[in-house]
Amino acid sequence: MTNFSPLSRDDADPSPLPEIPAQLRAVLNGIQALVGYWDNGLRNRLANDAYCEWFGFSPQQLHGMHIRDVLGEAVLEANRPYIERALAGEAQQFDRTLVDPAGESRFTEVTYTPDTRDGAVQGFFVQVTDITERVLADRRRQRDMDRYRALARSVPGVFVLLFDAELRYLIAEGQELETFGYRREELEGQRIQDVLKGDLAAELEPRYRAALAGREVSWSRQIGHRTYRLNAGPVYSDEDAAAGMVVAVDVTERLQQQQVWRALHELATEVARNAAPEDISERVAAIVRGLFNVDSAAVVRFTGASSAEIVAMAPTLPPTLSRRQIFAPTDESATVRVAVTGKPAHVVYRPEGGQVAEQMRAGGFQSAAAAPIRVRGSLWGAVSLTSKSRTGVTEAMMERLAQFAELVEIAIGNTEARTDLEQQATTDALSGLPNRRALERHLAEQVAVAGSRGTYLSAIVLDIDHFKRINDTYGHLMGDVVLAEVAARLRTVARSKEIVARFGGEEFVWLLPETDGAEALLAAERARKAIASEPFGDAGYLTISAGVCEQRDATAGSLLDCADRALYEAKNGGRNRTSRYGHPTPAAAQSTPARQSTPAGQAPDATEPREAQTKPEARTTRGA
């Protein structure tokens, strides 16, 4: 490869920039990409506005600059091979990750197109196209495909085909695929019309089209002495069927297994559609009951060494059975045996079988089996089935139940992982309360409910008095301890249907559905007294101020704004008090003398003059 000297900067002045017609500049600026032109001396001769803005130059400044001064030494060296080939007359295309002016990484596709005139390369055009969204979408699609492939590999006796809207196989995976005379390498990436033998493509196309249209299609096929049951259905992206899936099951020797693999397809689709963990568990319970033709089936989660909770049960939880159970290790229950041993278990209930067995017998159940569910390597719970006959559940079912439980692990594991991420995204890490993002969602929901029912919705905005002194005196670690403890005390005074969130800094918001202002005022007083009742370690006794507002037909902004105004009234009134918007503050809601404590923890209102405050234009986190 020729080593072009223009890569070493030539200090000769570039020729004058010719006037670019307005129409040409409009065309260049209309291209959704960075477009530029470098001559064979590697000096810029042309660039659209997007190109100039990216590098921070005006068109006049950029013109004539050497490429080294624009790209920098590191980027130039990375691009050197492509530049040299472009100047040799070879078109180039490559991907590059760039950092935009905002500091964000962007995935781009870069093309160098030589400008050849009279047999000589005069320079080359550059086009940089932002493909970030496409790359991220491809990664999401690949992640989903890896999930389906892993599911297919984990299940013996089946194969899975995933195809797109062009009837092109994206995934062809499974131990039984070769029985049909095909290998994965032959199918993946190929359209069915180009790869399937004989009239098979014409036979399958209408079924595949039906799956893409959102319908479930089932059929059977005889291959030699073996019979297969095939099921095609949609795989959803948002609200549309973006792809289809075929699951094929050998039903010759394992006819009952067919239902298991169909359940796999159903659960995989539910996971792909981001179904909630409770919905997945309910579906699992219903599927297990149908698969094994028993009276009842359940998904149970272990909550401790000797406790469990029935997450879902089909058909319904009988009145004789407690949803939350405390058991002894000696209880003769299938789920207890799983909890103790971590292995599948089968029991026939006896009168002396313990508390759980007694509850099951009271509901008319006589036999049961359970298999463990492990999530991320730990024993999560069990899937169980019960019968009102002593022979309705047998040990012969154990292998199938354990096998199905392994499939359930994948579905529950995926939904639990997603739920954990969602929880992290909506929970304040320091206080454990919902964060501002979650509060805004809850507030919008509660405003809509109050509006539809015509009920009150109240909001309390609470702020720790003189919190800045804690940080200044004891440091921010003590400040974090105080915030966490305030959050814990607020949780103890809030009712189950109410929402306490950390709005930011030392400010908290408490939403009280179906509560009028007078009741909310009492609730705020409970909170104020709970904060002032006990010292906060070395920080001593602290106080809070609170603002209360209630509305019917409220809007989220107006409700919080009014509560915020009431908070400022409480602050202006001397802190350590509660104010209700639009009402005089009763004596009981005014500050009480502060307890003696360390200087930073002392309630300042009893010893210092009140400080004048003004209401800001917008909600901010206060440090007063």
Q: What is the DSSP string of 298-342?
A: EEEEEEETTEEEEEEEES---TTS-SEEE--TT---HHHHHHHHS
**436-606 under CATH 3.30.70.270, yes or no:** yes
Euclidean distance between CA atoms 443 and 556, whole angstroms: 6
How high is the pLDDT of residue 461?
A: 96
Q: Which residues pair with 464 in a beta bridge?
A: 544
Domain locations in the chain as residue ranges? 5-130, 135-272, 294-422, 436-606
Q: Which residues pair with 551 in a beta bridge?
A: 457
Euclidean distance between CA atoms 442 and 462, whole angstroms: 17
Supply 523's token pair: 């609730």
How high is the pLDDT of residue 489?
A: 94
Q: Residue 548's closest CA among 587, 502, 582?
A: 582
User: Do residues 401 and 284 touch, judged by C-beta distance below 8 A?
Assistant: no
Per the annotation, the verdict on 506 as an active-site residue is: yes
Structure confidence by residue, pLDDT tens digits, 215-266: 899 988 877 656 788 888 887 665 555 688 888 777 665 555 556 666 666 7
Supply 119's token pair: 């047999």
User: Do residues 233 and 207 touch, judged by C-beta distance below 8 A?
Assistant: no
How high is the pLDDT of residue 562?
A: 92
Identified catalytic residue from 506, 525, 550, 569 = 506
Supply 145's token pair: 């495909």
How high is the pLDDT of residue 4?
A: 47
Burial call 126-157: b when 16+ CB within 10 Å, e when fewer: bbbebbeeebeeeeeeeebeeebbebbeebeb
The CATH code for residues 5-130 is 3.30.450.20
Give pLDDT < 70 ranges for the chain. 1-21, 141, 151-157, 224-226, 236-242, 251-265, 267-268, 270-277, 413-426, 554, 556, 585-624
**294-422 under CATH 3.30.450.40, yes or no:** yes
How high is the pLDDT of residue 143?
A: 77
Supply the DSSP symbol for 479: H
User: Do residues 479 and 489 touch, judged by C-beta distance below 8 A?
Assistant: no
What's the pTM?
0.36
How high is the pLDDT of residue 150?
A: 74
User: Do residues 296 and 335 touch, judged by C-beta distance below 8 A?
Assistant: no
Q: Domain 135-272: what homologous superfamily? A: PAS domain (3.30.450.20)
Domains 135-272 and 294-422 belong to one CATH topology:
yes
Read out DSSP for 19-67?
PPPHHHHHHHHHSSSEEEEEETTSBEEEE-HHHHHHHT--HHHHTT-BH
Euclidean distance between CA atoms 247 and 147, whole angstroms: 15
Burial grade of 194 (CB within 10 A; 0-12, 13-18, 19 or more): exposed
Euclidean distance between CA atoms 248 and 177, whole angstroms: 9
Euclidean distance between CA atoms 467 and 113, whole angstroms: 62
Supply 29's token pair: 């600026």
What order do you get walking across the sheet with 169-174 strand by strand?
A: 169-174, 158-163, 240-250, 226-237, 217-223
